Each structure stands twice: as C-alpha cells, then as structure tokens.
Amino acid sequence: MSKLDKLTPQRVFYYFEKISSIPRGSGNMKSIAQFCVGFAVEHNLKYVRDTADNVVIYKNGTAGYENSAPIILQGHLDMVCQKTDDCDIDFTKDGLELYVDGDFIKARGTTLGADNGIAVAMVLSILESNDIAHPPIEAVFTTDEEIGMIGARALDMSVLKGTRMINLDSDAEGIVTVSCAGGSDFVAHLPLEKHRAYGTPVMLEIKGLKGGHSGVEIDKNRVNANIIAARILTDIKSAVSFSIISINGGDKANAIPNSCKIQLCVEDADLFCDTAKKYIDIIKDEIRDREPDFNAQLTAESAKECDVFERDTESKITNALLCAPNGVMEMSAGIKGLVQTSLNLGILETKNDCILLHFALRSNKQSSLMFLQSRLAALFGILNVPTETFGHYPPWEYRENSPLRDIYCSVYRDTFGKESKIEAIHAGLECGVFDSAIDDFDCIAIGPALYDIHTTRERLSISSTENLYSLIIKILEKLK
C-alpha cells in the first residue's frame, strides 16, 4: 500500500511518490525523462524530448478555452542528493523512502526532492485530469536546474507558443515571486610558484562561521572565511615572519564559506601562535554580534623542510583577497529590501599549478552583472592573473504590468481572504532563462511550503500543497 494514498489531493501525492521512486539526482536524468514521456504516451498527449532530456507535454484547452492563449506550467526534474551517514541508499539506482509525519512528508535519511518534484507531480495531476477547466497547457519539465539550469538553457524555446508562465519552483506559501537574479561564475587562476624553506608547519583553521546561501543569506552580514583568513594573515605579517604552504576555503561557489584552512611554515612556532591568538581575539570581539561561534584553531607540527609560496605569489593572493569586492554591492532602488547585485568568493583552492579563486556573481539587473564582471577582470588584470567567466544565466527583471500576477493576487485574495506577499529574490530561478528568450513574457513563481531544502531535514507541508494546488486550478479557470 502507498504511504501517501490517503492524502489529498490524492493524484498529486500519487505522482510525487511515483517520481520519488525514480533516481533523479542532477546529471542522472534519463529515467525520470522517460517516465514523463511514458506519461504523455499513456494519456495520448503530444510531447517533445530533447537531447538535454527536457520534456514538454502539450494538452489542448478544455471546452470554452480552445482558442485561449497557452499557459506554460514549469518545474525541474532533478533533485539535490544528500543523505545521512547511516543511510545506505545509492542515489544512482535507488528511490527514496517517504513517510508522513503530521502535516509533513519527509524522506528517511535523505533529501526529499520536493524541490522540485512536487511541481512535476502537480502538473502531471492537472494534465491527467478531465475535470479541470484550463487553456492550452505547455508543461515544461527541465533538467539539471540544480547544477546551473543546464536544461533550461539548452531548451529550444521555439517549441513553446505560450508567453505566460507559472513556475512552481518556489518554497513558501502565500508569496508570489516576480523577479530573480541572474548570475555567472568568475574564476581566477593565480599562477603558483614555490620554493623550499625550513620551518615549523602550523595549521591555522578558521571555523564556526555561519556560512549560508550566497543568494538567500548574502544580506545577513555573514563573514566569509576566505576574506577573514587574508585579514588575519595580513595582521600577523606585520609582527612575525611566516610563509604560506597552502590556503583552502569553501567547496561551492554559491555558498558563503564558513571555514578556511591555511597551512603555514614559521620560524618561531610559539611566537607565531601567541601573535596569531592576539589578532584572532581582536577580530572575534569585533564580529561576535554577527558571528558568535567564530573561532580559530592553531596546530603545530615538528620542524621540517616545506614547499612554500614564492613571495610574489604570497603577495598577490593576500592582496587579491583583501581588495576583491565581496558581499552586497548594491541594493535595489525600486524594490525595498532587495539585494540587486552581489558576489561571493565561494571557493579558494591551492592546486598544483595555481591558486583558484571562484566567485559566484548575482544581479537582478543584467547591466550591473556585467559591470561587476568588469571590476573583477580589472583587478586580476592588474595582478596579471588569468581569469574566465562562464555559467551565465540571465536575470528575470521585474515587470510593472503583469496580468498574470494580477490574476494570481485576485484569486489568492478571494480564496484566503488576505493579500499575498509579492517578492523579488536575489537567488536564481529558471524564469530568467525563459524571460530572456520569449518576447512579452509574463511570469509568476509560486510553490507550497518547503523547509530545509537540499538537506536531510527537508520536508513538505501537506496542507500547503493542497492549498496551492486548489489555487492553481482556480487560476487556470481565469485564463480565458
């Protein structure tokens, strides 16, 4: 018996459970794409599947809606795969083990994948039904959203006739998203030269910082471990001699690093550690209100010969870390509280031949994003450091006149007796990709209440899913 068979709306949760039984981590899209194709064939619906495994399913408008403008319903097929240490699921071939806990659906030992599986389930339920009034539907299921919106960027938009879209990749009930940031990756490859030196290896490990998502938490004034590492090294350098062996912090460009490890070669370990502790305490006192758990650990080994950075390399990396912009660059003048432009040094890695600095750039304005790229290029150009920019995805800029937004707000008000919150976000959504390719594009992003997405604590509200599904049905009825 299904674990979700008694939940309402039944077919939404039926399809969510079916989807959850199919391995669909980012990069492993063929099985879930084939499931969508099989659904289309079973229900005699036209479909397109492209080389990126995106699937578009078409359904004609119901009686009275045959000649209405199409509506695009969109979600992504992939999920972020995380599991607890004691979970033996193989994400490449195993499905998820779902269970109900009060008002929540959870997955045992793993991420739930409701981001964005619940969107796919809701759309399949609508496509299957013969009792819902709606205009022609173009159901777009994209792939590999979580690793750079790869599917959406590969989709041939000419297969779509619709110019209005409901994206279902939001995670908060009662909020309609109307704008999102675009972004790009900026990487500098600082050439690494080393020489041999004798001294005591000391590991300086910066720990305890909050970290967070570089889109959602970038305005929370959280300290970037890579930046604070450069500051500590600069402060110590004025009082005691050392050389850098390696410096590494962060492993995801879009996550604010909460730790950084710097391996050093020092002449006098006791003097170095005493000096370092003094400066660390000064910084700890300075940032305690926003980073109360910040701490740094010093560990010394026995003296030996070490491969250390040449002085020119050491100077370039510390200067780059100190001078490179990081964090919030600009707030929106038109939308209160919205970060318009930011960047995050998410990865700092000492490789065999270079020191890699990987920044995630974001802006809700395309022109601001390009200017930020130019600033970084200018800085690293002065340092004679090669750079590259890739992974660009366009912003979804706010539209003053949005009939679809007006319909949503009216239906929400009539249904729940209160106003929906209208929101612009600094994170990225696939809406920006569609907006850049479709003329006169009108879009909203909505979703049910999801918590702790991308973690093993991820959970989906059952009642919120029911509320959202009924809301979508009422919106479709209004789209003549």
Positions annotated as catalytic residues are: 78, 145
Ramachandran region of residue 102, left (φ > 0), alpha (ψ -120 to 50) or beta?
left
User: Cβ contacts of residue 195 below 8 Å, gap of 6+?
Assistant: 307, 308, 310
Helix (H, G, I), strand (E, B) or coil at 384: coil
Place of tokens 């007006």: 406
Q: Are 396 and 152 in contact (CB under 8 A)?
A: no
Instruction: Tell me the C-alpha distance between 465 and 47, whole Å.
Output: 26
Instruction: Tell me the C-alpha distance between 74 and 55, whole Å.
Output: 10
User: Cβ contacts of residue 448 below 8 Å, gap of 6+?
Assistant: 114, 118, 171, 173, 460, 461, 464, 465, 467, 468
Number of other residues whose CB lies within 10 A of the CB of residue 5? 10
SS3 labels along 27-90 = CCCHHHHHHHHHHHHHCCCCEEECCCCCEEEEECCCCCCCCCCCEEEEEECCECCCECCCCCCC
Say how many residues make up the chain. Answer: 480
DSSP 104-116: EEEETTB---HHH
Helix (H, G, I), strand (E, B) or coil at 466: helix
Of 246, 39, 74, nearest in space to 155 by CA? 74
Q: Are 344 and 225 in contact (CB under 8 A)?
A: no
Strand partners, 205: 261, 297
Of 191, 257, 269, nearest in space to 229 by CA? 257
Instruction: Tell me the C-alpha distance between 349 and 246, whole Å.
Output: 8
**Residue 167: is the preceding peptide bond cis (ω within 30°)?**
no
Opening angle at CA 174, ends 170 and 177, nearest 5: 45
- Amino acid at the residue 88: D
Q: Are 449 and 33 in contact (CB under 8 A)?
A: no
Of 320, 316, 326, nearest in space to 360 by CA? 326
